[in-house]
């Protein structure tokens, strides 16, 4: 298959993790005889520095003419600590999602047996957890009208949803539930919010078309607690933009590191693949960031084009890396691998017909910092 992939490394650890996932995609192309063409462009704080715009025209144009986008991370502390900044790196990602109509953000969560001791939660609670979160991505409070009064003492962010916006993401979530364990949980705040009541009404209506899917409804405060108390009760979680943002970070605690969680942002004409983590500026250029979330995002990219065998091979390679502790310091406190070494181990597994390179494993574990 021929694919043109836009590469947007962004800020902080973005370039380092993207480097590894691009290498993995190149290895897949080589092994399966595909032709993937990569072209990079700036986004985020780095684009503000260079062009005064977190999403330069050129970057957007590249994304529009590409088949898929591989996205690194966005954000810089110099903006986080300056609430009066008029231009912010995050606007680049939000504008990209909106411009490309990436309305569904899919965030899978797997608890690897090998890593249960990395989570602060008890093993019997998290062992075997397998959840997919469907987060609505182009609506809600993120994109509603904003205002700041003249005296700068009152601010508003409008939360709005239409039936159409709810329906299109819900359809994907119902279909995912059908292909998984036939359970869908809508997370909302319908006891307080009008938008949540619209979500509930719409989901109840659609549930009739998916009789085999068991649907339940949870208020977001309770859902936040249930995720920690008994995450195994969940199969597919469907929720609005901001609740999905918050709950997916919380859910990553189950996996043991936020550096493991990938995502796909899907629209009708475009698709973007990014780790759920941020730019982790403290780790920038230290070669310690976990590249697995980005690598698993590239597996989701392959899934999107029905390259299932290829995607599964990446996931298998990641599992082998985890199994053999070829992992970065967030998961491996005794003999950590560097970002590059984790990527290289996974790459070699793919290129060497799924053979584990034990020699490299030893080298990896002895040469680190
Ligand atoms: C995410 C991030 C973004 C979001 C930020 C960087 C705008 O936290 O993708 O989860 O809030 O959606
Ligand atoms: Mn987030």
- Kindly state whether residues 301 and 344 are assigned to the same domain: yes
The rounded Å distance from CA 88 to ligand 2 centre is: 15
* Ligand 1 contact via 90 beta carbon (within 6 Å): yes
Q: Which ligand is nearest to the CA of 90?
A: 1
pLDDT at 369 over 60: no
What's the whole-number mean pLDDT along residues 47-71?
98
| Mean pLDDT, residues 333-338 taken together | 95
* Structure confidence at residue 340 (pLDDT): 98
pLDDT of residue 366: 67
Q: How far is the CA of 293 from the centre of ligand 1 (A)?
A: 14
- Closest-approaching ligand to the CA atom of 263: 1
Q: Do 217 and 282 belong together in one domain? A: no
- Of 259, 294, 325, which closes a domain? 259
Residues 6+ apart with CB under 8 A from 74: 10, 11, 14, 43, 44, 45, 54, 89, 90, 92, 93, 278, 279
Read off the CATH number of the domain in which 218 is found.
3.40.718.10
Residue bearing the CA closest to ligand 1, atom 7: 90
Same domain, 225 and 279: no
Mean pLDDT of 257-267: 97
The pLDDT of 266-294, averaged and rounded, is 97
Span 144-201, pLDDT tens digits: 999 999 999 999 999 999 999 999 999 999 999 999 999 999 999 999 999 999 999 9
209 annotated active-site: no
Query: How far, in Å, from the CA of 139 to the mean position of ligand 1?
Result: 13
**Residues 216 and 349 grouped into a single domain:** no
pLDDT at residue 103 greater than cutoff 50: yes
- The residue from 112, 161, 189, 303 that is catalytic is 189
Same domain, 146 and 209: yes
pLDDT, position 41: 98
Which of 91, 93, 246 has the most ligand 1 atoms within 8 A of CB, as the residue to mutate? 93
Backbone angles phi, psi at 64, to 5 degrees: -65, -35
Q: Are residues 326 and 368 in the same domain?
A: yes
Q: Which residue has the least CA distance to atom 9 on ligand 1?
A: 276
Residue 286 φ then ψ, to 5° = -95, -5
Q: What is the mean pLDDT of residues 69-85?
A: 93
Ligand 1 centre to CA of 277 (Å) is: 8
- For the chain, give the mean pLDDT: 96
Range of the domain at 158: 105-259
Is residue 157 among the annotated active site residues?
A: no
Indicate if 44 and 142 belong to the same structural domain. no
- Whether ligand 1 lies within 6 angstroms of the CB of 27 is answered as no
Query: What's the pLDDT at 208?
Result: 98
> Of 259, 276, 310, which residue sits at a domain end?
259
Predicted structure pTM score: 0.96
Domain boundary among 259, 281, 305: 259
CB 299 within 8 A of CB 311: yes
At 367 the pLDDT is 59
To test the pocket of ligand 1, the residue of 71, 89, 90 to mutate (highest count of ligand atoms within 8 Å of its CB) is 90
Both 94 and 198 in one domain: the answer is no
Report long-range pairs for 274-277 (Cβ below 8 Å, ≥24 apart): 274/70, 274/71, 274/72, 274/73, 275/17, 275/72, 275/73, 276/107, 276/248, 276/249, 276/252, 277/73, 277/252
Q: Active-site residue 249, yes or no?
A: yes
- Closest listed ligand to the CA of 12: 1
Check if 74 has its Cβ closer than 6 Å to any atom of ligand 1.
yes
Residue 127 has pLDDT above 70, yes or no: yes
Q: Is 276 in the pocket of ligand 1 (CB under 6 A)?
A: yes
- Closest C-alpha among 134, 251, 136 to residue 185: 134
Q: Do 26 and 47 fall into the same domain? A: yes
Q: Is the CB of 245 under 6 A from ligand 1?
A: yes
Same domain, 319 and 354: yes
Flag whether pLDDT at 335 surpasses 90: yes
Whether residue 110 sits in one domain with residue 92: no
The yes-or-no answer on residue 76 being catalytic is no
Q: Do 114 and 67 lie in a common domain?
A: no
Rounded-to-integer distance, Cα 24 and Cα 18, Å: 10
Judge whether 303 counts as a catalytic residue: no
Banded model confidence at residue 334, pLDDT cuts 50, 70, 90: very high
Name the residue of 245, 247, 262 to mutate for ligand 1: max ligand atoms within 8 A of Cβ.
245
Structural domain count of the chain: 2
């Amino acid at each position: 298959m021929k694919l043109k992939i836009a590469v947007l490394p962004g800020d902080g650890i973005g370039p380092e993790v993207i480097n590894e996932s691009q290498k993995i995609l190149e290895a897949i192309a080589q092994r399966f005889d595909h032709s993937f063409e990569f072209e990079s462009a700036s986004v985020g704080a780095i684009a503000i520095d260079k062009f005064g715009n977190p999403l330069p025209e050129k970057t957007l144009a590249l994304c529009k003419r590409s088949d898929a986008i591989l996205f690194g991370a966005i954000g810089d502390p110099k903006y986080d600590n300056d609430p009066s900044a008029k231009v912010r790196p995050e606007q680049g990602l939000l504008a990209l999602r909106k411009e490309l109509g990436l309305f569904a953000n899919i965030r899978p969560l797997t608890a690897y047996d090998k890593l249960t001791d990395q989570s602060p939660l008890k093993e019997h609670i998290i062992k075997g957890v397998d959840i997919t979160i469907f987060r609505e991505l182009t609506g809600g409070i993120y994109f509603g009208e904003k205002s700041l009064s003249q005296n700068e003492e009152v601010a508003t962010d409008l939360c709005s949803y239409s039936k159409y916006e709810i329906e299109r993401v819900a359809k994907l979530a119902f279909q995912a539930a059908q292909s998984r364990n036939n359970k869908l949980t809508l997370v909302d705040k319908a006891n307080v919010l009008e938008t949540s009541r619209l979500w509930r009404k719409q989901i109840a209506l659609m549930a009739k078309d998916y009789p085999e899917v068991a649907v339940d409804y949870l208020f977001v405060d309770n859902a936040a607690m249930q995720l920690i108390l008994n995450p195994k009760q969940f199969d597919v979680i469907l929720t609005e933009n901001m609740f999905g943002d918050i709950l997916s970070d919380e859910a990553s605690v189950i996996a043991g590191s936020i550096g493991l969680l990938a995502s796909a942002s899907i629209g009708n004409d475009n698709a973007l693949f990014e780790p759920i983590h941020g730019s982790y500026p403290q780790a920038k250029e230290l070669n310690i960031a976990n590249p697995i979330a980005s690598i698993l995002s590239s597996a989701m990219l392959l899934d999107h084009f029905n390259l299932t065998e290829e995607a599964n091979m990446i996931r298998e390679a990641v599992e082998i890396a985890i199994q053999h502790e070829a992992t970065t310091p967030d998961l491996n406190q005794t003999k950590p691998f560097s970002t590059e070494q984790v990527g290289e181990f996974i790459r070699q597994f793919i290129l060497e017909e799924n053979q584990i390179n034990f020699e490299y494993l030893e080298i990896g574990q002895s040469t680190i910092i």
